[in-house]
Amino acid sequence: MDIQIILDHVNSVYTDKDTVSGKVLLETATPIDISTIAVRLSGIAISRLNGKRSSEVHKILRRTQVVFPPKQQLDSALGQKFTLRSGTHEFPFSITFPHFAECFKLDPHEDDLAASCARVRLSKRLPSVHLLRRLPPSTGTSNDIAEVKYSVNVVIKKPGLFKGTMKMSRDIFLNPLSEPTSQQEPVFQQQQQQPITIDPEISNFSSAPSFLLSVQLLNGSSLLQTLPLPLRITLTKQTTFTCPAILKNFQTMVVEHTHTDVNNSPSYHRQCWIVQTMSNMHEVVGDPDAPAGAELNLSNALWSSRPLPPKLVSSFETCKIKRSYELRLKVRFQFGELPKVRF
């Protein structure tokens, strides 16, 4: 007997607003007896201790649809067997993602699909503390301290002398839609300022050139994966002087922070993702003769063609795993032209 899971989404990538639909293809060369065929949409969040084998698993999604026997026969079909003739059989399914992680729920189909037909609730003990949050994105591998993975599973139960269970699984990927950004976010969360003052003895100017470097996130503290960084970078002249401000280096980096907890033992992992690095530049910022108080803007052409790295997933918090990000900007300016060297 051959079992296949055919998904309607060819690339197996879903958002949390999607429905996972498709069909189970069952091909058999001889007639077979079947009790039930069920499709389960599963998701698990695994937190691991850094460098150790200890882990904690939360079943954040377990939604099951019995696709055979038909729904109208399901209640009376407990313990019955059905014979499928030789050939290819198709069983369509359709399961929608929930709005929130559901590991606080008990799944009546968890261990025994036959029991589910009689609507018997199981009393299996699960980890007792769960978070009611949006489903997290697929992320990580078995080597990481945090892993979230989703799959579609088929469970076929056979009755009688050859009683047993056949299973088939196929991985899918969840990339939840971004939540709308808050327009009410305080300005201090959207903007960072750094004063820059050049010692006149070093710079050889009569008065100390002074700037205020201001970096602003135009959409609040949210970044969208496929779009360039919504940055506004400004140098505000604090004093009157005429030397040019020249941008020499420019780098943007996203720092990923992952916190996990395994049976009350916390673990932490940090990873840096370079978005863009430019060096040995000679970009004059604004008009060198601008008066004090003038704002000199860096051109957004510098970063507008650089979206975030595609492997980044959205920030999330689920049972025992929290992922957040920090944007770091490094800039280096030169004030005034360096004297030309002649040989």
Residues found near Zn ion in the complex (CB under 5 A) = 58, 103, 130, 319
Least distance in Å: CB of 135 to Zn ion?
12
Amino acid at 197: T
Residues with Cβ < 8 Å from 270, sequence gap 6 or more? 255, 256, 257, 258
Nearest to 155 by CA among 33, 61, 31, 39: 39
Least distance in Å: CB of 171 to Zn ion?
21
Please, which residue, 58 or 109, has the CB nearer to Zn ion?
A: 58
Distance CA 55, CA 57 (A): 7
Please, which residue, 130 or 323, has the CB nearer to Zn ion?
A: 130
CB environment 33-49: b (16+ within 10 A), e (fewer): ebbbbbbbbbbbbbbbb
Least distance in Å: CB of 22 to Zn ion?
27
Sheet holding 210-217, edge to edge: 191-197, 210-217, 231-237, 295-297
Look up residue 108 and give its two tokens. Answer: 């009546």
Please, which residue, 296 or 321, has the CB nearer to Zn ion?
A: 321
Q: Is 286 left (phi over 0), alpha (psi -120 to 50) or beta?
A: left
Please, which residue, 39 or 319, has the CB nearer to Zn ion?
A: 319
Least distance in Å: CB of 131 to Zn ion?
7
Nearest to 62 by CA among 99, 97, 15: 97
Least distance in Å: CB of 299 to Zn ion?
47
Please, which residue, 112 or 317, has the CB nearer to Zn ion?
A: 317
